[in-house]
Structure 1
Amino acid sequence: MSTEQPSTSQNQNSPQLLNQWIEIQESLKKQLITDDTFSWKLPPICKGQIYEGAQDDRDSDRGKFLKYIAGADLSFSKTDPSIACATLVVLDASTLEVVHEVSNTVELRVPYVPGFLAFREAPVLLGLLEKLKNTVPQLYPQVLMVDGNGLLHPRGFGLACHLGVLADLPTIGIGKNLHHVDGLTQHGVRQLLEANGDSCSDVFTLIGDSGSTLGAALRSTV
């Protein structure tokens, strides 16, 4: 099935189109891998600092560690919400220094429809990944972080999952708002945070009523 953006003449909120998008999501969801199957591991940390050995390309263990992380997002024009600047930033996992950036200004013909963000943004972000692969393949990331949800989604297949499957890349979704799925609610998460108020951790696992782990909540310091 194609994930190309429909023409502007198509009614993009029609039940027919939304059903088509749901079919695409369900088809791609069958390819989703939720277990960690990658061979790399996080660089070792000692007293808040990365071991120098993890930064040394001559180190025989270098290939065992995560090398590059990328973050992707779209920033929209304040005067025209159909115009956006899409950016992909690659960081060295050992130093968190930016090693490469790629951007593209685009006109989006697909409006934002709750639950279907991938059909608006995924084609653009896939284009940036392809551009990165063609220009500096040695800096292609092993993990991608994207502004959007993953498993924590009404159909369990948000932008992060959608993009990860199509790019064949481990992807982490960073959502600003909590989707009320599988029994999760704002009130319930607040209770969880309050119950762990004395904990030294600011990250809490989000587990739905089904027992499935859907993500994690980060305690905001703002």
Structure 2
Amino acid sequence: MSDRLREQIEEQIATGQLPPGSALDEVALATQFGVSRTPVREALIQLTAEGLVELRPRRGAVVASVGPARLLEMFEVMAELEAMCARLAARRMSESEQAELLAAHRACEAARGDPDAYFYCNERFHNAIYAGSHNGFLAEEAAALQRRLRPYRRLQLRVRDRMANSFAEHEAVVAALQAGDAAAAANALRRHVSVQGERFGDLVASLQALDHAA
């Protein structure tokens, strides 16, 4: 029960229904999901361990807010983890795993124009690369940080032209993986995940707009 609740609350955080700084009242959540407070409390503890929720004195549980400097650090680490996944996947992906990657890539193409649909197809694309690395520990670490960055990766897709650029970047990753070029795959995925310069400025501006709207 607590695991299902964690997934449901995490989804609301990722999709912006619960933006950074939102209070997470145990009674309200228990009523919303039709459960007792105990599994809600357990779910919030799990989300706190993941870094998506903070426990603040006198405020209780709130959706975690990440400052720009910290966010940049997290994306830097995410870019390196994914680059490692791509480097290994270029050498280790099976034919069936490559087929899944291509299916996810085609799904991203079909979803362009719909940020929410693209968000889920994009997750499928990246998860296919994690699996293709055939390094369970690396895949777990990449997935854990991906979960923590989900609200921000989703927000990026609402920046003008980001979906089109993201898909073009995916094309470079797919080509390198199909060619078995480990260095090119790692570099392509690193560039895709990194948020530097204008991209980072756009992301911070979107976060500020979200804060003002809240």
Q: Same fold (TM over 0.5)?
A: no
More helix by share: 2
Higher relative contact order (CA 8 A, sep 6+): 2
Q: Which has the larger radius of gyration?
A: 1
What TM-score do the two structures reach when normalised by structure 2?
A: 0.28
